[in-house]
Amino acid sequence: MANTQTLEIPIAGMDCAECTQHVRQAIASLPGVKEVNVFLTSEKAVVRLDPTLVDLPLIHKAVASAGYSAPTPAAPPPARPLANLTRPVLTLFGLVFGVVLFIVVVGEWLGLFEAITEQVPWPLGWIIVGAAGYSIFRNVIRAALKGQITSHTLMSVGAVAALVVGEWATAVVVVFFMRVGDYAEHFTTERARRAVKNLTAMAPQTARVERDDAEQEVPVEEVRVGETIIVRPGERIPVDGEVIAGQATVDQATITGEAMPVEVGPGSHVFAATMAKLGSLRVRTTRIGADTTFGRVVKMVEEAEAHRAEVQRIADKFSAYYLPIVAGIAALTFLLSGNALATTAVLVVACSCSFALATPIAMLASIGAGAKRGLLIKGGKYLELLARADVLLLDKTGTLTLGQPQITDVIPLNGLSATDILALAAAAEHYSEHPLAEAVRTAARAQNLALAEPSHFEAIPGMGVRVKLDGHLITVGNRRMIPAAKSLPVVAELEAQGKTLLFLARDNELAGVLAAADILRPEVPAALAAVRGLGVRQIELLTGDNERVAGTLAEKLGVAYRAKLLPEDKIAVVKDYQAKGHTVVMVGDGVNDAPALAQADVGIAMGAAGTDIAIEAAHVALMREDWTLVPEVLRIARRTMGVVKMNIAFTAVYNVVGLTLAAFGILPPILAAAAQSLPDLGILANSSRLLRQR
């Protein structure tokens, strides 16, 4: 590992999923390269290598040999005059001739232009096709010399076959639709790419820093951890940090996807790329740049392409075998019928790139749409697994519940009111650091109770506290502290509900009971009902709490449960389900649940904003603590896979029908040329629906 280095290299010139494969193969062939991931949307390659065997110039040379460039971040992509000049000119040239040929197609169908097309000299037809398809044919030949097959290889062969049999108009129509398909794919890719670029653009480029008793505006990369940042109303926060002064309303939609702004003040944590709408802040920097929560979000979205779905791998493999299959059908057509036009039509109508497009475009669209709503999905692989999930495992504390005990019941005894009991308990717990003491104080603050100052405070470990208050001895603690509490009927009733009890005695006489519980998130029951409605039948609660607490919560939610579990026990449960053939989704808070999240087929981290462990361990990160996002991500996954299956089915049926009609001479070459691009356009249109998911 000492000789391993990871480099991020920008790549220019990639327009399609196929381009990433060519770049990946070129870099991976170098000695010393251990792993390569190439990302279309973020236009970069992440390379893990041995620096003693391969260096950056060698990688740049390999990228250039594949037909792309690796510009330095500070410099624009190197100019390629011929390509820069010919591509737009020849594309326009091809489009103009394509429009003209549409008229010719109609004319030929009506039998009006046959005499005209026959009078065009064949050299002129070859020149027209060569000029219109120059860049396409050049790339196909370049790939062929390296033993590579591209989506345009088959169509180029069809165009050449059309020229050979004298169907120059057919060849031009093929080139025209290759151009149309390229632009449609480029447009869809740019939409996905623009989503990442727009996300990146939200991060401020400068920050106002306190230095030498003055404010200085500096590039954000020059800010140091620990420095104080000034944020004024209407400005985006440039760093992750802790508010040390000021109050503001902050729009955190870029991180959490939540439209409602939040109020922050001293002690609050704020995130880079969020906006202070009202009020100003002084923020102590804790993270900058790529280390911020926003930076990690962008990185996850950029690199989601690395985790490719199994259905995508199958489609990629099929695409590699598709050309020999079509060539075989064309050869068989010619041997059986001797019809050169039918053979040409077979080569022209076949559309190989539609198989390659069927999956990645849909996956990228859903991942981008999810990121806008605070759903970070690490790749298409996890969308595919989510779509077939049948087991949902749940952590309790901090996941199903708020993670902080709250006072739920105050029961007065011996003439005191509930308000009296709460005020006495809060005053007695004034100096206690126990979580239940904080729950009591919080409940008292919520009612704006005036609290007396205790004297003679004494904490008894494992039992409670004892204080003097207005001349009375006040004791607050568990039943070991106040044995008389055992006989109360209400005690058994509250404990049966899984609540933790505190007893209050005044002058050694039992005066009241306070019950505390970790409150269930209010949206959980409806969210679990929605999950069941999506086909996940087995839902189980895994918790380290005792049987009574776990059983009470599980019964309320209508789920199975296992209690008193350690982290390794949760992993064992996940493995047991997986061994039985189930696809397991685990939802946790990403801290003590990190091992189980990593073991599950899909680990979902709840409220991952700012949490390193959650973002690293989970496969899906919910950037806000909202259980409605769990059924939403399942719905997105199922809808995505539905679109993928529709794309694949449409492509398969279309190609089978097209090849059959062409082989039997029913579909003439010029109509086959017009028909071959329709699967691409259909797939792109169908997949783009996912960008507008509600």
Q: Do 574 and 595 form a contact (C-beta atoms < 8 A)?
A: no
Give every strand in the sheet of 262-264, ordered side by side: 235-236, 275-278, 248-251, 262-264
Number of neighbours of residue 390 by Cβ within 10 angstroms? 14
Q: Do 65 and 26 form a contact (C-beta atoms < 8 A)?
A: yes
> Three-state SS string across 388-413, please?
CCCEEEECHHHHHEEEEEEEEEEEEC
Q: Do 472 and 480 form a contact (C-beta atoms < 8 A)?
A: no
Strand partners, 5: 49
Q: Two tokens at 659?
A: 């090849």
Separation of CA 173 from chain center: 39
Separation of CA 677 from chain center: 30
Q: Determine the length of the chain.
A: 694
| Among candidate residues 158, 184, 67, the one with its CA nearest the CA of residue 347 | 158
Strand partners, 283: 229, 243
- Which parts of 119-167 fold into alpha helices (H)? 122-132, 134-145, 151-164
272: left (phi over 0), alpha (psi -120 to 50) or beta: beta
Q: Two tokens at 143?
A: 């790939």
Q: Two tokens at 23?
A: 């770049």
Q: Two tokens at 360?
A: 């990645």
Query: Would you give the DSSP letter of residue 271?
Result: -
Q: Do 51 and 80 form a contact (C-beta atoms < 8 A)?
A: no
SS3 198: helix
Strand partners, 474: 467, 506
Q: What is d(CA 151, CA 353) in angstroms, rounded to the nearest whole number? A: 5
| Among candidate residues 302, 301, 298, 272, the one with its CA nearest the CA of residue 286 | 272
Q: What is d(CA 292, CA 203) in angstroms, rounded to the nearest whole number? A: 10
Q: What is d(CA 514, CA 542) in angstroms, rounded to the nearest whole number? A: 27
Q: What residue type is 57 in one-letter code?
A: P
Query: Which parts of 274-367 are beta strand (E)?
Result: 275-278, 281-287
Q: What is d(CA 407, CA 417) in angstroms, rounded to the nearest whole number? A: 16
Q: What is d(CA 628, CA 526) in angstroms, rounded to the nearest whole number? A: 8
SS3 530: helix
Q: Do 644 and 356 form a contact (C-beta atoms < 8 A)?
A: no
Instruction: Give the catalytic positions in this structure.
Output: 395
Number of neighbours of residue 57 by Cβ within 10 angstroms? 9
Q: What is d(CA 152, CA 154) in angstroms, rounded to the nearest whole number? A: 6
Strand partners, 263: 249
- Decide the pairing of beta strands 281-287 and 500-506: unpaired
Q: What is d(CA 145, CA 143) in angstroms, rounded to the nearest whole number? A: 5
